Copies of this chain bind each other. A is one copy, B any other.
């Protein structure tokens, strides 16, 4: 039809499967296997239902204050959005507004090129080295912006803050976004560098370490000038993005630091013994500092393992893509879930190649 000529065509991002069945062991979208902080439950039970008729605070006040207290920052250094995807999409739209290409790794979060296409931002993918490491010199040429996840996904590899600082310092003419979705699982945040570098935006999420993927909360920390530009674009898009329950329950989650640290520690401990088991089973993987492991088997193709696990109701993530087509991204679940995974992997590998 005639009206279609003016339509913006987009290639949507394809997220990991969300099975309707509840008997599945779900290790495919990096969710937390433990529930949110108990204070979140209390806040849900005491939800002021009558107030839902009113618009929320545009600044997400209580949530903002809890985050500011937790990270030792002021409201002017904080931006909040509907998950880190919302924060990152807004940041792309606000800061990557040049004719020069933005730069990001070839193996990385697969939303970056989707946003670049949507907003018509030119981009260049910089290949990771053989060991899936970022080559810092690649990010020191002329560019219209940089986005790097640290730890990187789906590799799980953490780079030192010093490496990130070299990249940030080399790019005073561009905004550098460090996507720290997984930093709480053993990484050091670049947050302190935002005091020193105006061009740095650090993005985090409640969906992984805070066990609130269903609540849709993400945030960014940066200097007040940078955050101001981001807020202007956000308030030109949608004044009220954060629902009252997100503000109330999110704030409670941040205040319970002990529960947060306990959850994160449990996941780290599980991850470390899973690494040993995977090595014994013949898997190799980069040393992950995230809540997942990106593993490849020396004999059995990733695709075969992925499909066989699925038949057994264990979901992991697999991409049929260049460079990573023989890898599985396995989310760290509870100890019990990971024992079931290990048992299934042991059987699948033992049976591989044998007549059925």
Contact = CB atoms under 8 A, between A and B. Distances in A.
Given A85-B239, A97-B6, A216-B241, A55 B40 contact: no
Interface string A35-67: 110001100110101111111111000000000
A235 interface: yes
A172 B1 contact: yes
A202 to B, nearest CB: 15
Given A3-B198, A229-B9, A243-B216, A53 B34 contact: yes
A173 B95 CA distance: 33
B241 A243 contact: no
A40 B49 contact: yes
Nearest to A235: B12
Contacts of A34: 53
30 contacts: A2-B172, A2-B173, A3-B173, A3-B175, A4-B225, A4-B229, A6-B96, A6-B144, A8-B93, A8-B94, A10-B232, A10-B233, A12-B231, A12-B235, A12-B236, A18-B57, A26-B54, A36-B52, A36-B53, A41-B49, A52-B212, A52-B214, A55-B207, A55-B213, A56-B213, A83-B238, A83-B240, A86-B237, A86-B238, A245-B245
A118 interface: yes
Nearest to A175: B3
A316 to B, nearest CB: 16
A233 B9 CA distance: 7
Q: Which among A207, A216, A234 has the highest number of chain B CB atoms within 10 Å? A: A216
Contacts of A6: 95-98, 144-145, 173-175
Interface string A1-36: 111111111111101001000000010010111111
Contacts of A212: 52-53
Interface residues of A, number: 88
Contact of A54 (B3, B117, B214, B239): B214
Given A12-B232, A35-B50, 13 more contacts: A1-B172, A3-B199, A6-B96, A18-B55, A40-B52, A45-B47, A55-B214, A56-B216, A115-B237, A118-B237, A214-B244, A215-B244, A216-B241
Nearest to A10: B236
A239 B15 contact: yes
Interface in A150-176: 171-175
Nearest to A16: B55
A146 to B, nearest CB: 11
B49 A213 contact: no
Interface in A209-224: 211-216
Contacts of A309: none
Contacts of A115: 236-237
A36 B49 contact: yes
A264 interface: no
Q: Which among A2, A5, A232, A236 has the highest number of chain B CB atoms within 10 Å? A: A236
A93 B119 CA distance: 10
Contact of A237 (B52, B89, B171): B89
Contact of A32 (B9, B12, B53): B53
A279 to B, nearest CB: 28
A82 interface: yes
A246 interface: yes
Contact of A1 (B9, B57, B199, B215): B199
